[in-house]
Structure 1
Amino acid sequence: MKTLVVSGGTSGIGEALAHTYLKRGDQVVVIGPHPEKGRIFLATAEELGAGERAFFLPADLSLVSENKRIIEDIRENFPAVDALVLCARFFRSSRRVTSEGFEHNFALYYLSRFLLGNGLLDLLEKAPDPVIVNVAGPGVEAGQIHWDDLGLERGYDGWDAMFQGGKLNNLLGVSFSLQRPGHRTRYVLDFPGGTATGFAGEFDPATAAHVKEMLRFAKPVEAGITPIVAAIDSPPTEPLSAFFEGRRLDLRHHSFDPEDARRLDAVTRELLTG
């Protein structure tokens, strides 16, 4: 029986993955901000006959303190983690700053994934075939990293924030693999493409119309989770791999630059220390 931890696991791709592995007989821990959605998840697990293998941890993962609390909770209650799946993301047309002083998209889409991956690594290393699947993207051709303004104080745009998040997660995967040459946990960056499960966020009218049009052509969630399931069931042999809608990406692309990854890691640790 595997143990999976899924952030953003009460809706969309995360929820579909959680149900898939509960049906298989595995143990699933989902993290989400809404207790009501958590209750629905647990009720569904009961209907599947998997109530004793389903766990919901309520948390606002845009807060560093909440990530640290969740990490300690998991460490206290689970001896090992086979797969950590990072799905939590929330689009905002307008800039918002968390109570800890970080721009919301940067905090939820990037900092949380940094914290969870690093904080649960020792539990992953205790599993026979451990993997982190970071469901992020695209972050390859689109967007840029605003090195001197990661919080986008000087001109915020929701799409710019999201694309920057994708690029930051690319570098997160690189730094994770560079810093631990001997670890067994594989890191997989996976953008499965748009799925018809919704697009969580708070939108201005123009963005809402665009998102509605995007969802018209989105693939069913069952198709969207297929490559993620494959990565969990049979992790790639390489320490780091990246996929875009099923196509393997060349890690020599400038979006995976090792020096940029080291720079981001140093900046991140300084921000968290401060």
Structure 2
Amino acid sequence: MSGNRIAVITGASAGVGLAAAKALAAEGWRVIGLGRNAARCAAAEAELRASAPGAEVTMLRADLSLMADAARVAKEIAGMVDHVDLLANNAGGMIPEPAVTAEGLEECFAGNHLGPFVLTTRLLPLLLKAPQPRVINTSSDGSEMIPGMNWENLEDPLGSSPGAAYCSGKLANVMFAAELARRHGGQGLLAFSFHPGTVASNFFAHVPQATRAHTEALEKITPEEGAATLLWLARQPAEALDNGGYYYRCAPRDPNPTAHDPANGERLWALSEQLVASALARS
């Protein structure tokens, strides 16, 4: 196994992901960043190289709302490295109108949870080769704003509004981290989720108008401030953290009451496998 620490960061072409990538590259990590837009990926790679001269940085294009693309980029990463120390599932967002992907999935939930689910499960063999692997999911306080997962609507591509689908995806990020810790904590895997705060980024360009009006009134933090908890979770000693926990501002935060129920974690995992298999059969 190569000696350098390796981080895979999704949504690394801007915002919190780019800020985290810069910080880790400056510390000597090998950084593999993912982004949806090829031009923004190229610009981010140039920015990363300029901010951390000599750092080993690669940006890969991938649309994580498409399960075939998530599987493809996981295979590409597996051909590049022999282990992964950190997987930061940071990409995600909201869409202004209901939309269905070419694979038949609701686009918002697919991009926020199902694509990261594919990437994580496909990279698990590489993560488990690292001495102390970590998976960190960027969630949102939107995960706290719904009573729980609307399981029936997850199987209906147009069963939810974009806002409800976004909150479900962010709750899934919290549930998924907790379930990863339950399933693989005994193998040394640490998994966490966190709320970064309301970050000034291009996220708000894609939200519905009513949501945008609300969020524009909120006080914003910088991408660097938003990345602080992600980086803190990547650096803290394992014994100082709650494996499977949900965090905000570098401290534990109470999640949605349904988030850490093992039955919900198992149900989410099984449903995710089912939806992904259906999508891949269409691609």
Gaps of 5+ in 2: 279-283
Alignment match, 1:18: 21
Q: CA deviation at 1:140?
A: 4.7
Where does residue 35 of structure 1 map in the other structure? Answer: 38
Pair 1:205-2:206 in alignment: no
Q: Are the aligned partners of 1:139 and 1:255 in contact in 2 as well (CA < 8 Å)?
A: no
TM-score by length of 2: 0.88
Letter of the 2:65 counterpart? S
Is 2:142 the counterpart of 1:136? Answer: no
Deviation at 1:261, TM superposition (A): 1.1
2:69 is matched with 66
2:80 & 2:36 partners in 1: Cα distance? Answer: 20
RMSD: 2.1
User: Is the partner of 2:197 in helix, strand or coil?
Assistant: coil
Change in CA separation of 1:104 and 1:140 when aligned onto 2, cut-off 3 Å: closer
* TM-superposed deviation, 1:255: 2.3
Pair 1:210–1:250, CA change in 2 (3 A)? closer
Question: Which residue of structure 2 lines up, in the alignment, with residue 182 of structure 1?
Answer: 186
Q: 2:232 corresponds to which residue? A: 230
Percent identity (aligned): 25
Q: How many residues align?
A: 272
After TM superposition, the structure 1 stretch with the greater mean CA deviation from structure 2, 144-153 or 244-253, is 244-253
Match in the other structure for 1:165:
169
Query: Alignment partner of 1:117: what SS?
Result: helix
Distance 1:41 1:77, change over 3 A: same
Do the aligned partners of 1:9 and 1:18 also contact (CA within 8 Å) in 2?
yes
- In the TM superposition, what is the alpha-carbon distance from 1:181 to its structure 2 partner? 4.6
Q: Could you tell me whether the CA contact under 8 Å between 2:92 and 2:111 is conserved in 1?
A: yes
Shift of 1:12: 0.6
1:3-52 per-residue CA deviation (whole Å, 9 max, x = no partner) reads 11001110110000111111222211111111111111121233235366
Q: Could you tell me which amino acid in structure 1 is paired with residue 222 of structure 2?
A: P
- Look up the SS of the partner of 1:85 in the other structure: strand
Q: 2:49 matched to which residue of 1? A: 46
Does residue 79 of the first structure (1) align with residue 101 of the second (2)?
Answer: no
d(CA) in 2 for partners of 1:81 and 1:200? 31
Cα distance between partner residues in 1 of 2:180 and 2:32: 23
Determine the C-alpha separation between the residues in 2 that align with 1:153 and 1:270: 14
* TM-score normalized by the length of structure 1: 0.91
1:240-259 correspondence runs (5 A): 240-250=244-254, 253-259=257-263
Distance 1:269 1:171 in 2: 15
Alignment correspondent of 2:281? none
Aligned partner letter, 1:246: C
